[in-house]
Amino acid sequence: MQIKRIPAGVYATNCYILMDEGTKEAAVIDPGGEADNLIKAAKDMGAKVKYILLTHGHADHTGAAVQLKKEFTAPIYINEQDYKLINNGEFMYGDIVESVDKYINEGDTFILGSMQIKCILTPGHTPGGVCFIVNDKVFTGDTLFAGSIGRTDLAGGDFETIIKSIKEKLMELPDHMRVLPGHGLESNIGREKMYNPFL
């Protein structure tokens, strides 16, 4: 498995390109902006983009999704709860309502060659927030950061819900599991259990 992290857009959102090195099949997680840079990075890797996966619907995580879909003919996946807020035109949600192909649900899996991406629902930052687990890594979007958690003051956010999601879903993962967040540097579950002040 090859992972490339590309901070993109005005909020330096971490976009991740995951690629199975055998088949070159790839998924792009949270293409937040700078579409040309993301497209070039994927092509430089030789990636055959199969999925565009969104942890949630905020514009800084969805800004380049439509351009990547057009370039690679890859479907866009998001949870239905966030799609509804996008459809309502809520503040800070991306303008991708016409481009979403399928909804992500708890337990869904996405196959890239020999790699399996598993989805878990982690609402709180947004109602439809999701995280993706691949082997010993979890891509947490804006649910969990190194030493912090996602904000809950935007439409659909709820503090008690995000804490519940983190404690019941993410903190149950093995301590060694790497946390690859939507902003900032990576961490691991054990470190967040011990040092994250919100937990």
In SS3 terms, 125-171 reads as: CCCCCEEEEECCEEEEECCEECCEECCCCCCCCCHHHHHHHHHHHHC
Band (86; pLDDT cuts 50, 70, 90): very high
| Nearest-angstrom CA–CA distance, 118 and 110 | 7
Q: What is the mean pLDDT of residues 171-180?
A: 98
Are 126 and 76 contacting, i.e. CB atoms less than 8 angstroms apart? no
pLDDT per residue over 136-169, tens digit each?
A: 999 999 999 999 999 999 999 999 999 999 999 9
For residue 111, what pLDDT is reported?
98
Return the pLDDT at 32.
96
Give the bridge partners for 14, in sequence order.
Answer: 7
**pLDDT attached to residue 192:** 98
pLDDT at residue 3 in the model: 98
Kindly indicate the confidence band of residue 58, based on its pLDDT and cuts at 50, 70 and 90: very high
The mean predicted confidence, pLDDT, of the chain is 97
The number of residues making up the chain comes to: 199
> What class, spelled out in words, does domain 2-195 have in CATH?
alpha beta
Interatomic CA distance for residues 77 and 74, integer angstroms: 10
CA 144 remoteness from chain centre: 11
- Residue 30: phi, psi to the nearest 5? 55, 65
Report the predicted TM-score, pTM, of the whole model to 2 decimal places.
Answer: 0.97
- 3-state class (DSSP) for residue 44: helix
- What was the pLDDT predicted at 9? 92
Please give the C-alpha separations between residue 31 and each of 16, 51, 87, 135, 164, in angstroms, as whole numbers.
Answer: 8, 11, 19, 22, 27
Four-residue CA torsion sign, 196, 199, 143, 115:
positive
Would you list the domain boundaries of the chain? Answer: 2-195
